A and B are shown apart, each in its own frame.
Chain A
Amino acid sequence: MIGGVDCEMRAPSGIDPSSRAVAVLRSCWPAGVFLDAEESEIVDLASPKIANRLPSREFFLYSDRATAETWEELGPCEENWNRMLHVLWDEQADADGLFTRVTVVVDEVTPDMQNILEVLQTAFNKSECLHREII
């Protein structure tokens, strides 16, 4: 009743990880789309609408619209493998108030996905953001 690999990162508190993740994935997946976990509207990462929304604490980033429209039905099948990132982050900073925990769920940490995760880390914080698979 659970799938995916949960990768934990941390980002400096006070930033909006969703906007940074959108910016990164726009370059990795030019036809990518965004879906807030509480909403149903799929928004193109290239759309101006993406800049006007409120920060999302939980959202999905898909490589393309077709994948977004079929993912829930098909799940992590061969056609959809590693074509969706599920991102969740804490609203509260950690005990010392410096960082926020961010989890990125993928299907598999392949070399290509590792590259995306590393670019995400860099976007969150060039020197401080750490990521590791949660065991």
Chain B
Amino acid sequence: MFHYTDKDGYNAIVSQPVWLFLAGKPPGNHPFGAYFTDLPPDTPHLATKLRIPRRKVKWFFEFVDVGDLIRLPGNRGEFIFYSPTNYPVEWECQLNYGATGL
């Protein structure tokens, strides 16, 4: 599972031993939550599929999906998931992080 963010978001999350993805109200009609995707960084048109600017997919965190995230309703639920509350990821579930190169 992946979380994409910008430089400021990346620095805030990576500075902590337990990654904490903060829940918030996204634009549009989506539920309050912390948002994730199973689309890897090399996915064509990644930012467009998430409907965010490229600067918000320049940094990523990858972690083990333990099956507790909720699929977004609708067809984008094929690849977008959320947690309705802040979502901590302990070090044993942390996989990769860094720049996407996008």
Contact = CB atoms under 8 A, between A and B. Distances in A.
A4 B51 CA distance: 6
- Which of the four size classes fits the interface of chain A? 35 or more
Contacts, number: 100
Contacts of B45: 35, 37, 60, 72
Contacts of B26: 1-3
Given A6-B73, A72-B47, A1 B29 contact: no
A72 B56 CA distance: 11
Given A35-B45, A72-B47, A75-B56, A4 B27 contact: yes
B80 A73 contact: no
B75 A89 contact: yes
Contacts of A103: 74-76
- Interface majority SS on B: helix, strand, loop or mixed? mixed
A77 B54 CA distance: 12
Contacts of A101: 74-75
Contact of B53 (A39, A75, A107): A75
Interface in B39-64: 44-45, 47-56
A6 B82 CA distance: 15
Nearest to A75: B53
A12 interface: no
Contacts of A26: none
B51 A75 contact: yes
Interface string A89-103: 110000000000111
A38 interface: yes
Given A2-B30, A35-B45, A133-B29, A88 B35 contact: no
A134 B26 CA distance: 14
A-B pairs, top 8 by smallest CB distance, nearest first, are A75-B53, A3-B51, A88-B75, A103-B75, A4-B51, A1-B35, A5-B28, A103-B74
Interface of A: 1-6, 8, 35, 37-40, 58, 60, 71-77, 84, 86, 88-90, 101-103, 105, 107-108, 133-135
